[in-house]
Amino acid sequence: MLWKRQIPILIVSLIGFATLLGWFFDQPTFKSFVDDDATQWFDILAAFAIFLGGLNLLKLQTQKVLMKQKGWQYSLFAIGGLLFAIVAGFFVKGNPEVAWGAHVTSKGTLFKWMFNYMVSPMQATMFALLAFYVASASYRAFRIRNFEATLLLSSGIIIMIGRVPLGSYISSWFILYLIVLVGGIVVNTIFKNKQYTAVAVLAGIILVTVTGSSMGWPVDKPAVFYLPYLQEWIYRYPNSAGSRSIMIGIGLGIFGTSIRYILGIERSYIGE
Amino acid sequence: MNDREFLIGSGVFAASFIIYLSIGAPHFITGRLVMFFSIVLFSGILIYSTRKAQRGEDIFLRTIPGLKAVEEAVGRSTEMGKPVLFVPGISDMDQVETVAGVIVLGHVSKMTARYETPLNVPVSRAIVMKAAREACKESYLVEGRPDMFHEDMVHYVTDEQFAYAAGVNGIMVREKPAACVYMGKFYAESLILAETGNSIGAIQIAGTASQSQIPFFVTACDYTLIGEEFFAASAYLSDKPELVGAVKGQDMIKVIILILIFSGVILRMLFDLGYLNMNILELLTVR
């Protein structure tokens, strides 16, 4: 119980307090422990732990191949890749002029070849898939289902068009005419009367046309309907307000969780 | 520790710090004094709420749909005879989000032990693998099902971000889990994982504090724990008074921060208008 409960909690509390106080005190020895030594301890632990991870990977994939489990052929590639990386990293440099250690980043070595021609292209392939996933996710997010989704769609369109050069050529008056037409849809939905709708749309069009003629149809006026300005406003105000409130919540959550660990209130990480 | 001892302890701490300040506070970075006091004050509020909850005060915790859905997701997997996939993010245990994710994993594994549902936890860091294994092992023991626990339910894939995403996607496509739970720190791989999960028709629950990934999870998952909801998950799922009390404490701190924001705006406005000599921004800026 002492080794499984009290001592881990004590270590977490001590290191937690030390790290927290390291921000407030500039005593050199203490500062160097918090900033350098403690993080190096973690790196050393992680470096040893990677052996556990590698062995676990090898064990599972080998089991899959031996037992001919579903998709065992893929495991052959996983095992082959792991062994090839070990050989290229520890046994075969491929370029005798390069020193051991430097061979992982130097040109002309087997490890660098593996990185440039296998690892990098495969990572790029996975990253490129993101574009298609963004498209399919956007399609689902922008489907008009309710008021919030409609709001998201409108904001999304304004931001997308307002941020490209084409957006600056779209006059505010064009947006105003669009708003008049959308207003017509709203009137029709509420009153379900063609005459009312026609009157509302006509009145709107006349109002916009008269105002536009009197002002000389400037592209960016009224500024509130000019897409580059509008997108900037959406991005800087409603968007910032929302993201900052989430940020404050996240900050508080992290603070609360950290304090719970340091004070030993939260003990779930040791299985309690 | 009873209330009296707690108060005496707090008094001794305050008195020691005042003495330390009065002798010139050697090695203390004075530009961070306000932050230090804020941390002490907020910690005090958290401890107070926790102690109050431990004494039996009834605390209301609003329903968080995402957390309520965890049990539903495990139940669905049980009915379909398919596994539950838990992804604890791609960061190491030095990130508080990963630790929070592993804690949620502990609760999820209790449910899978109870319902006898297979659990699959691919991880991208070896230390996370060890921690997650311990969490699962304890949960299966607590539920009285140590026979169902096997170490390989938590397995290492790779440290590389996109290789990990490819590996987890492969598991999803081959095993077709009925529920995918993403709790931890995520980067660009979040959408790749969530969209693949969506394509196989799994019920998906995500929780992260990575702000830039929240929109992706909201779009592709059925439930998303946003920001602090994710950190409240442990309290909600365990229903332990001390953890629920801490959540209430966080709400009290939030009220204080709101008051500070409003009063800060007013004080700064008065300073700009020349009615006040003290610049609140100077006082609150951490150096």
B115 to chain A, minimum CA–CA distance in Å?
A: 19
Domain presence at residue B118? yes
Asked if A27 is an interface residue toward chain B (Cβ–Cβ < 8 A), one would say yes
Domain presence at residue B236? no
Whether A33 and A115 map to the same domain: the answer is yes
Residue that finishes a domain, picked among A107, A138, A169: A138
Interface contacts A/B by beta carbons within 8 Å: 182
Test B226 with A256 for CB contact under 8 angstroms: no
Domain with B256 in it: 3-60+241-284
The chain B residue lying nearest A12, using CA atoms, is B94
Whether B32 and B156 map to the same domain: the answer is no
Domain with A77 in it: 2-138
Q: Which of A59, A257, A272 to mutate to test the interface with B (most CBs of B within 10 A)?
A: A257
CB-based contact B219:A141 (threshold 8 Å): yes
Bridge partners for B89 per DSSP: B185
B230-248 burial by CB neighbour count: b if 16+ within 10 A, else e? bbbbbbbbbebbbbbbbbb
Whether A185 and A240 map to the same domain: the answer is yes
pLDDT of residue A240: 92
Domain presence at residue A48? yes
Whether A7 and A102 map to the same domain: the answer is yes
Whether A153 and A186 map to the same domain: the answer is yes
Whether A158 and A207 map to the same domain: the answer is yes
Bridge partners for B223 per DSSP: B205
pLDDT of residue A86: 92
Q: How far is CA A136 from the centre of its chain?
A: 16
Mean pLDDT computed over B99-120: 93
pLDDT of residue A271: 65
Count of structural domains within chain B: 2
| Cα–Cα dist A137/A120, whole Å | 26
Domain presence at residue A223? yes
| Cα–Cα dist A187/A196, whole Å | 7
How many CB atoms within 10 Å of residue A144? 10
Whether A111 and A181 map to the same domain: the answer is no
The chain A residue lying nearest B209, using CA atoms, is A250
Whether B94 and B199 map to the same domain: the answer is yes
Q: Which H or E run contains B123?
A: strand B119-123
Residue A2: half-sphere exposure toward Cβ, Cα within 13 Å: 0
pLDDT of residue A268: 72
How many CB atoms within 10 Å of residue A255? 20
Query: Taking Cα atoms as reference points, which of B207, B214, B248 lies closest to residue A260?
Result: B248
The chain B residue lying nearest A138, using CA atoms, is B219
Query: Taking Cα atoms as reference points, which of A137, A50, A110 lies closest to residue B190?
Result: A137
User: Would the pTM count as exceeding 0.80?
Assistant: yes
Mean pLDDT computed over B116-145: 93
Q: pLDDT, tens digit, for every residue of B132-154? A: 998 999 899 999 999 999 999 99
Asked if A47 is an interface residue toward chain B (Cβ–Cβ < 8 A), one would say no
Asked if B52 is an interface residue toward chain A (Cβ–Cβ < 8 A), one would say no
Asked if B252 is an interface residue toward chain A (Cβ–Cβ < 8 A), one would say no
Domain presence at residue A257? no
Partner residue facing A25 (CB), from B27, B127, B161: B27
Q: pLDDT, tens digit, for every residue of B1-57? A: 667 777 888 888 889 988 988 888 888 898 888 899 999 998 889 888 888 888 888
Three-class secondary structure of residue A272 per DSSP: coil
Three-class secondary structure of residue B87 per DSSP: strand
* Chain A residues in contact with B226 (beta carbon < 8 A): 246, 249
CB-based contact B276:B270 (threshold 8 Å): yes
Partner residue facing A137 (CB), from B156, B195, B249: B195
How many CB atoms within 10 Å of residue B14? 11
pLDDT of residue B98: 92
The confidence band for B227, taking pLDDT boundaries of 50, 70 and 90, is: confident
Query: Taking Cα atoms as reference points, which of B211, B150, B220 lies closest to residue B185?
Result: B211
pLDDT above 70 as % of chain B: 99
A2-9 — which CB contacts under 8 Å span 24+ positions? A4/A270, A5/A267, A5/A270, A5/A272, A8/A270, A9/A264, A9/A267, A9/A270
Q: What's the CATH code of the domain at B190?
A: 3.40.50
Rounded mean pLDDT for each run of 10 residues along chain A, 272 residues in total: 81 89 90 89 88 91 92 92 93 90 91 94 93 88 80 89 92 93 93 93 95 93 92 92 90 87 78 66
Mean pLDDT computed over B243-259: 89
pLDDT of residue A2: 76
Whether A131 and A6 map to the same domain: the answer is yes
pLDDT above 90 as % of chain B: 54
pLDDT(B116) > 70: yes
| Cα–Cα dist B86/B168, whole Å | 10
Q: Which of A110-114, B201-205, B245-249, B267-271 has the weakest average pLDDT?
A: B245-249
Write down how long chain A is: 272
DSSP 8-state secondary structure symbol assigned to residue B23: T
Count of structural domains within chain A: 2
Q: What tokens appear for B145 in the block?
A: 């099902």
| Cα–Cα dist B55/B3, whole Å | 11
pLDDT of residue A272: 66
Asked if A4 is an interface residue toward chain B (Cβ–Cβ < 8 A), one would say no
Domain presence at residue B83? yes
Q: Which H or E run contains B208?
A: strand B203-208
A157 to chain B, minimum CA–CA distance in Å?
A: 16
